[in-house]
A = this chain, B = another copy of it.
């Protein structure tokens, strides 16, 4: 249903078909990226941003947007897919082996901004897409942090007297809060990774451990 597949039967300007499967003119490819970029920014600011707002921000006409994305839900799904792919790429490139505390600090440093962007898009998606679709992508993100917390607990570095699910929630809520404070000018973006890591590791440290230090 997304622009990448283009096999949508009855659609406006349905005669528009690429010469080959998936093939497109350069201006069409440029517009699709511009629309996705604009949608990501607009939806992060306001989950109810209109299709007209997004088209304007992308510098294209509404009919052009509808030419590439059949419905608002199609567009939101495409943005969600792209956001997940971007998050996966960054997270795949992050070393999560070795000392759990240091691994978590690296993961936090690499992903705090993406995690927040992801959540903004997710909120918009929740209004348009089925709950299963939302859960599928949400769980993939959670899983990585959970794996490190599991390792940390087994190694005795992280506390195990609180629900594990809550520790994961704590990690995400601190990243989201930092992203919001940073966007609002209340927190220096350059300092955010350190601030989140110090706070999170202090919160997660096994009681009595000397892990609760000023800098990781």
Contact = CB atoms under 8 A, between A and B. Distances in A.
Contact of A181 (B165, B187, B202, B203): B165
A198 interface: yes
Given A177-B173, A207-B212, A199 B161 contact: no
A48 B46 CA distance: 12
Interface in A195-216: 195, 198-200, 202-205, 207-208, 212-214
B163 A199 contact: no
Contacts of A170: 174, 177, 199
Interface residues of A, number: 32
Interface of A: 48, 159, 161-163, 165-166, 169-170, 172-174, 176-178, 181, 186-187, 191, 195, 198-200, 202-205, 207-208, 212-214
Contacts of A208: 212
Given A159-B202, A169-B181, A202-B207, 20 more contacts: A48-B48, A163-B187, A163-B191, A163-B195, A165-B187, A169-B177, A169-B178, A169-B187, A170-B199, A172-B177, A173-B173, A173-B174, A173-B177, A200-B203, A202-B204, A202-B205, A203-B203, A207-B214, A208-B212, A212-B212
A5 B83 CA distance: 49
